[in-house]
């Protein structure tokens, strides 16, 4: 049986095994998909052991190892290079080929499921980590009217902006302009906080989208709704879409995402 894993720390809570088994069932495929908790600081040894003992076809990589995975791979795709982070590895013989499906997962969820156009939209991305880089890289070819990035540590937003050719703004400055789409690509929700976005920034927002997902609306989602955003979404749809793209990379077939998302909800 073909074996797959999601690697993280902690990772026991991951929804990826359920998602990938639901995809496999659509094609009557039998796969093995398990979580594997790697010891932080020991990625290369843990991966060598996993490959030796389990011989996986592919792995997903989640927090905090996406940058380790990027450094580890023998070959990476352009979108992984733009994000400087790998969330999907395909093992081709002895070679590890790294990709990043987060950005395309986000775009497919926003355009396909939410029905919000990104072409011609003014888009604000909050955060400057791997997820923000992946989202900005995926937005770049779509013809947005403007893409700007804001981050708590402004210098990191500037670096991201220079690297990917978008403007860096401070959170305070975001109040001076109108934005149709505002994306929370920070991990602030993990500490039960919202990024310091002024209320007025949400005034014209057709969509406020938090990459995080939880049973309850996140602090960013509550802030956006209270501040007048027309629609507020969490990142569960993105999670399912990024998984579908990984499934396609490993197994060559594209699963239906809507029934899987409905089941998770």
6 binds ligand NDP (CB under 6 A): no
103 binds ligand NDP (CB under 6 A): no
* Residues 5 and 65 sit within 8 Å (Cβ to Cβ): no
| Cβ-defined contacts of 72-75 (< 8 Å, 24+) | 72/43, 72/44, 72/47, 72/96, 72/98, 73/97, 73/98
242 binds ligand NDP (CB under 6 A): yes
Alpha helices in 28-187 (DSSP H): 43-54, 66-72, 78-83, 102-108, 130-139, 154-164
Q: Annotated catalytic, 140?
A: no
101 binds ligand NDP (CB under 6 A): no
131 binds ligand NDP (CB under 6 A): yes
152 binds ligand NDP (CB under 6 A): yes
Which among 4, 146, 133, 124 is positioned nearest to 78, based on CA atoms? 133
26 binds ligand NDP (CB under 6 A): no
Q: Which position among 2, 66, 140, 203 bears the catalytic label?
A: 66
Least spacing, CB of residue 9 vs ligand NDP, in Å: 13
Which of 81, 122, 140, 156 contacts ligand NDP by CB under 6 A? 156
C-alpha pair distances (Å), 253 with each of 58, 237, 244, 246: 15, 19, 9, 10
17 binds ligand NDP (CB under 6 A): no
Least spacing, CB of residue 208 vs ligand NDP, in Å: 14
Q: Which stretch binds ligand NDP (CB under 6 A): 70-78, 146-154, 198-206, 216-224?
A: 146-154
Binding mask 159-198 for ligand NDP (x = CB under 6 A): --------------------------xxxx-xx-x-x---
Least spacing, CB of residue 55 vs ligand NDP, in Å: 27
Which of 7, 59, 89, 128 contacts ligand NDP by CB under 6 A? 128
Q: Which residue has the tokens 């400055």?
A: 173
C-alpha pair distances (Å), 59 with each of 19, 51, 69, 196: 14, 10, 10, 35
* Residues 153 and 160 sit within 8 Å (Cβ to Cβ): no
How many other CB atoms sit within 10 Å of the CB of residue 32? 16
137 binds ligand NDP (CB under 6 A): no
Q: Which stretch binds ligand NDP (CB under 6 A): 5-13, 70-78, 151-159, 197-205?
A: 151-159
CA distance 136 to 155: 17
Q: Where are the beta strands (DSSP E) in the chain?
A: 2-8, 31-37, 58-61, 75-76, 88-92, 95-99, 122-126, 146-150, 167-168, 181-184, 207-210, 232-233
- Residues 202-221 within binding reach of ligand NDP (CB under 6 A): 211-213
Residues that bind ligand NDP (CB under 6 A): 63, 102, 105, 127-132, 151-153, 156, 185-188, 190-191, 193, 195, 211-213, 235, 238-239, 242
Any idea which residues carry the catalytic annotation?
A: 66
């Amino acid at each position: 049986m073909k074996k797959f894993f999601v690697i993280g720390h902690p990772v026991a809570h991951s929804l990826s095994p359920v998602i990938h088994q639901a995809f496999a069932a659509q094609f009557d495929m039998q796969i093995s998909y398990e979580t594997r908790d790697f010891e932080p600081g020991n990625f290369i040894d843990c991966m060598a052991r996993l490959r030796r003992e389990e011989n996986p076809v592919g792995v997903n990589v989640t927090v905090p190892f996406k940058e380790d995975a990027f450094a580890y791979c023998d070959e990476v795709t352009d979108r992984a290079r733009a994000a400087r982070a790998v969330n999907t590895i395909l093992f081709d013989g002895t070679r590890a080929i790294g990709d990043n499906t987060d950005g395309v997962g986000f775009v497919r969820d926003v355009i396909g499921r939410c029905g919000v156009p990104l072409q011609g939209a003014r888009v604000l991305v909050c955060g400057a980590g791997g997820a923000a880089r992946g989202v900005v890289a995926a937005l770049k070819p779509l013809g947005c009217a403007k893409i700007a990035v804001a981050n708590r540590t402004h210098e990191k937003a500037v670096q991201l902006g220079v690297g990917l050719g978008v403007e860096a703004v401070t959170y305070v400055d975001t109040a001076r302009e109108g934005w149709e789409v505002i994306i929370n690509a920070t991990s602030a929700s993990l500490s039960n906080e919202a990024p310091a976005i002024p209320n007025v920034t949400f005034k014209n927002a057709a969509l406020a989208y938090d990459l995080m997902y939880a049973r309850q609306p996140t602090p960013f989602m509550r802030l956006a709704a209270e501040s007048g955003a027309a629609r507020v979404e969490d990142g569960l749809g993105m999670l399912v879409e990024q998984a579908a793209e990984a499934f396609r990379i490993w197994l060559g077939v594209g699963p239906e995402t809507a029934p899987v998302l409905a089941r998770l909800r």
